[in-house]
Structures are given as structure tokens and as C-alpha cells.
Amino acid sequence: MQKKMKNYLLILSILLFMSSQLTAQTGDAGQPGEFLRYGVGGRALGMGHAFTGLADDASTIYYNPAGLMNVPRKEFTSMYTNLFLDSRYTYAAVALPRTFVGPHNAVGLGWVNLGMTGFDQRSDNNISEGSFDFYQQAFLLSGAREFVSTWGVLNYGLNLKIINQAFPGYSSDTGNSGWGFGADLGATFRPINFPLFRLGVFEDFFTLRRIMPLQIGVSLQNVLPPRVGIGSGEKDPYPFVLRFGASYSLLFGNWRANIVYDHERFKDRKAGNFMGAEALVPSPFQGFYPSLRAGYNSRTKAPSFGGGVKLDYLTNAAIRIDFAYTLKPHEALDNDFRLFLAVDFGQHYDHAYFYDRALRGETERQQLAAHLQVITRYPNDNVPTSAELLGTELDTTNAVHYFRLIGGLRLANKYYYQAIEALKRNRIAAAKSEAKKAIDEYTSAITGGREITENEYMNFAECLIIDEQYAQASDLYLPRVTTPSLRRHYLAGVCYRYQNKWSEAAREFESAVEAGQQDSKSMRALSFLGLGQARMQLAEYNKAINAFETVTRHYYANLHPDYPRYPAYADDADRNIHNIADDAQFWIAECYERSGEKLKARNAYAKINRFYPFSTRLEAANDKVTTLLKD
């Protein structure tokens, strides 16, 4: 019985010793499973243990299993370091994304080990009975899956872990090994057209270029808590750990940077905040890709630094060597320096891979998902094609967001159509806002040397008209449209009318009505009306009356639903009556009045009441009739 008690005391003392040493490293009281809290991965440790939201290499098995879907290539990674005294800490893992289990799944295997060797075992009489070792280890089997939608890319994953504690070489009737089983859950989300970013004023600020570099991650460790012990003693469960964070990627010329932040909470431990950054330095020569890292760990209250280099000289593999250095985390411990080795191999799961999948996609859903994956890897050569296909065919609801990503004429034309649609709904301020955006894009395309069709020049001119930049439209851009057309002459006539250049307006409106084209969107009817206005302002009253009477005789029906609304002719918005015959009749009467033919003027005004009772000019016409009767 005495020997059995000594066995328990020995085991307990070793466990307490190792836990206390790890406590010194992490700055808090030791708990079951503390060896799984020390951290792995050169990139993560170099950034202050922040990795849950970035999660894109083989160490993600340790931090967040969902990140397996983010690993850009099959990868093996390893780490071996001395922590304190003769303890050794080891990590090895292999990540296999989009392999064996399909293109939307990933698997991984990991192993974490903390051990000490050379303990002297003695009998009750203090006689040496040889030596024994001690270790704690975890075997991690990870799986992940992705779900891609227009909202974003959601990855979710699961860790199944087997925990083992053992004293190999130690002879005891209580046994020298114990086992336990547990599970972790994880998720990452990269937003694309997430509704939260499409609300009101947010929509203009949160462009795809600004939100796609963001990734959010969460890890729920020990959802199924392992219970590990040796012998028949009490087996405490590993504590539940909530860890969440985010990462954001930035481009500075040829430099790429990742900013990361993690927050961690679990029982009997103060909250931890971990933050860091990583800079991917432009390669000084081909195949050599250096990186620099720095971070801060609030638990140890110490900064960390790191770096590495990727050597891409092999035919189908690349070697990455990383290091991480943490300043003295505790006064009883030395500064911590670790080296890491990783090997990437096999297929690159980059934008070219997903673009190829999009081309081979059998269903529209498969094509949509693949093209969305292409644009989340912005910038790359396939983004323009993928964004255009998304905006024109696969996800037209969010077309403007895809076109904003690539700029150019697709975006300009989309803004143009949105401005026209806003005018149809009598949302003048919104129409001007969209027109201004279109103007910026058209201007950028022109200054950038993009080829612009005559129809797009006319779209540009319409946006300038909506924004009341009439001289710009008539003097700079409409002259570039060399093919005569009803639309081209009508737009020019509108510009001159608003500039009070009545002779030029009359010339353009006359050319419009003589174009002999089909009256698309009621522009020929509006051209007759504009011609009459111009002739009236030039005091050519008979010619003006002829133009107006053409409208009352031939264009008395409602205007085309898509007629150009500058201005709008809405006589009864509730009944959707948009008519210009009443306006023409009113101006016929005004022409007679100006030319001194008061009787004809009175009769012409009276026709408004008789034939156009819905007219917005009815009250003014009745007042005119009353005044002329008095005269």
C-alpha cells in the first residue's frame, strides 16, 4: 500500500511540475490539457498566437479545423523544441484539402507531444530500479467542408482527438498509461454579398474590394471534453475553450500583409487577446519568398517576432522555413526561439484552379460557386472574366458589386441603368447619385484608353444631362457620336434647350423628327414637343403650333414607360398617366396668346378642360380662360 501511494505521489508531482512550467509560459493557473495550449506553427507564434481567423496552413488543425479548406496546397509541417529542463515539445501535421473526399472537403492529421525523459525510479529502500519517461500526446483527426453562396464562403470543420498520458518504463501495479477522447468544432466565414454590408449607406463603403479581404473565424475547443488519467484516480475534464478572431489582408504595391486578432475565453482563466501582423515581402529573385511577422500576447504580456522564407525550386513542391521568437515570457524562463519546417506539394488550389472548375462546371450552381472563389482571391488575371459572368448571368442581383470590383464600362453602364430606373420612380436625388457614379466610371474608361461604343457615349451624355452638366454633354461627348440617330439628336436638343440655345435646340430636334426611325421610348414625340418649344422661344409661332399640333394629333396616347424623364411628364402618378398632348395643347394656346390672337388662345386653353381633365396644367388653363374672357 505504501509503494502504491508513492507511485501516485510521483505521478502527481510530475504532472504538477510540467503544468507549473507551462503555467509560467502562459501566465495562468495550469489546467488539464495545458500542453495543448502552448501553441504551434511558425506563422501563428510569430503573430502572438493569433490564427483562428486566418487559418490557412497545416497548423490550422491545431487552431481551427475549418481552416483546412483555406490551405492553398497539400502541406506537411513539423516543429520540435526544448521548452524547459529536458522537456521536448513536438508538433507534426499534414493537411490534405480537396483531396480524396471531393473538391469541397478536406482532411488532416495532427500530432502534439510534450515529453520528458530520464526520470530515476527507485524502490522503497532507495535502490535504483532503472529510468522511465513521461509524455502527454494528442492525435488529431480533422475534417472540413465548404459552402459557397453569394453571401460568402463558409467553411466548417471538426477535430476528433485522442489524448494519451503515459510513463513508459515505469513499473507500477496502477498502470502507466491513460487514454481519453474529445472533439473540437470550428468555422470560418469570408463575406462577399452578405446582407449586413448592403444596408443603406454601408453599400457604397463596403465594396467587394474592402470586404472580401476579411475573414472571421471561431473555434470551440473541447466541445466533447477529454478526460484523461492514470489508474483509478479522478479524471478531470479538459475545459471548454471559446476562441474567435478575424484577419484582414492588405495590398501595398507588391507587398501583401495580413492583420490578425484572436480573443479567447475559458473557465478560471482571464480572457486572452492575441494580435499580430504578417508581411509577405516582394521576392528579390525568382523562387525566394521572404516574410516578416510580429505580434503580442496579452496573457504573457510579451511581444513576439518571426519570419520565414519559402523556397519554390522543386518541380512539384516548395519548402518553407519559419522561425518565431518570443521575448522572455516569464522571469523564470529564457526567451523562446523555435524553428519550423513545412513542405507544400501537389496541386495549387488558386484562382486558376477555381477558374478551370468554373469552365468545367456542369450546373449553374457549380459555376457560380467556382467564379465566386475566383473573385475572393482578388487580384488575379481571371477576376475580370469571372466578375463579368457573375454580373451578367449568374448573379445579376448583385451585378453592380461585381462590376465595381473590375470597374470600366460594365460598371458605368450598370450605374446608368440604375439612374434611369431611379428617374422612373421619381427618385431624383438617387438618380443624380447613380449618374455621378456612372460619369466617374465613363470618364475613367475614356482617360484609360478603353474603346467606347457610340451607344455608350450616349449613355454617358444622358448621365451628364441627369446631373445637369448640359454643356459637357453637348460640347464634348455627343460630337463623338458620328452616326445620325433619333436618340443622338434628341439628347443634343435637350442639352441645348436647358442652355437656352434655342436655335441649336430647334436644329437638333428637327433632325431628330426627320431621322425617320421608329419612335423608341417616345423620343420622336418628345422631339416634336421640344421643337415646338424652341420655335416658340424664337417667336416662330406658326412653326411652333405646327409642331405642337403634330403631338396632339399623333402622340396623344400615354408615353412609353421608359421615356427619358428629363423632365418627367406625370399628370397622374397614381394612375401612371404620363402624357404630353396636354402640354402641347397648352403651348398652342400660349403661342396664340403671344401672337395677339386672344380668341384662338382662349379656345385653345378651354380644350385643356374638355380633353385633358387629368392634366397638371388644368388649373393654369382655367385661369387663362377667365382672364381672357375679361379682356
- Tens-digit pLDDT profile for residues 125-139: 665 556 556 788 999
Long-range contacts of 260-268 (CB under 8 A, 24+ apart): 260/47, 260/50, 260/51, 260/53, 260/54, 260/295, 261/50, 261/53, 262/49, 262/50, 262/51, 262/52, 262/53, 265/241, 266/239, 266/240, 266/241, 266/242, 267/239, 267/240, 268/29, 268/31, 268/239
d(CA 142, CA 613): 76
- DSSP state at residue 530: H
Least confident range from 246-255, 514-523, 582-591: namely 514-523
Q: What is the 3-state secondary structure (H, E, C) of 457-468?
A: HHHHHHHHHHCC
- Tens-digit pLDDT profile for residues 376-430: 999 898 998 999 999 999 999 998 899 888 877 888 988 998 999 999 888 999 9
Q: Identify the pLDDT of residue 575.
A: 64
d(CA 486, CA 509): 9
Long-range contacts of 14-19 (CB under 8 A, 24+ apart): 14/116, 14/119, 14/134, 14/167, 18/87, 18/114, 18/116, 18/134, 18/136
Mean pLDDT of 332-349: 86
pLDDT for 14 beyond 70: no
Report whether 160 contacts 138 (CB < 8 A). Answer: no
Least confident range from 226-230, 267-271, 333-337, 516-520: namely 516-520
Least confident range from 55-59, 138-142, 576-580: namely 576-580
- DSSP state at residue 37: G
- Tens-digit pLDDT profile for residues 278-303: 999 988 788 899 999 999 999 888 89
pLDDT for 480 beyond 50: yes
pTM: 0.75
d(CA 330, CA 346): 42
- DSSP state at residue 173: T
The residues spanned by each domain of the chain are: 2-349, 484-631
Report the share of the chain in percent with pLDDT over 70.
Answer: 87
Higher per-residue pLDDT: 174 or 206 = 206
Task: Please state which CATH number belongs to domain 2-349.
Answer: 2.40.160.40
Q: Identify the pLDDT of residue 192.
A: 96
Nine-digit cell at 618? 388644368
Mean pLDDT of 109-114: 94
Least confident range from 8-22, 475-489, 581-595, 607-621: namely 8-22
Mean pLDDT of 8-17: 43
pLDDT for 242 beyond 90: yes
Task: Please state which CATH number belongs to domain 484-631.
Answer: 1.25.40.10
212 pLDDT band, cuts 50/70/90, is very high
- Tens-digit pLDDT profile for residues 92-106: 999 999 987 889 999
- Tens-digit pLDDT profile for residues 15-67: 444 444 444 444 444 578 888 888 899 999 999 999 999 999 999 999 999 99
Which residue from 274, 210, 211 is spatially nearest to 245, judged by alpha carbons?
274
Mean pLDDT of 191-205: 83
Report whether 25 contacts 329 (CB < 8 A). Answer: yes
3-state secondary structure of 419: helix
Higher per-residue pLDDT: 116 or 616 = 616
Q: Identify the pLDDT of residue 231.
A: 63
What CA–CA distances, in Å, run from 616 to 447, 529, 572, 609, 629?
A: 44, 17, 8, 11, 22
Q: Compute the mean pLDDT over every residue in the chain, rounded to the nearest whole number.
A: 87
d(CA 15, CA 207): 53
- Tens-digit pLDDT profile for residues 534-545: 999 999 999 999
- Tens-digit pLDDT profile for residues 598-618: 999 999 999 998 898 888 899
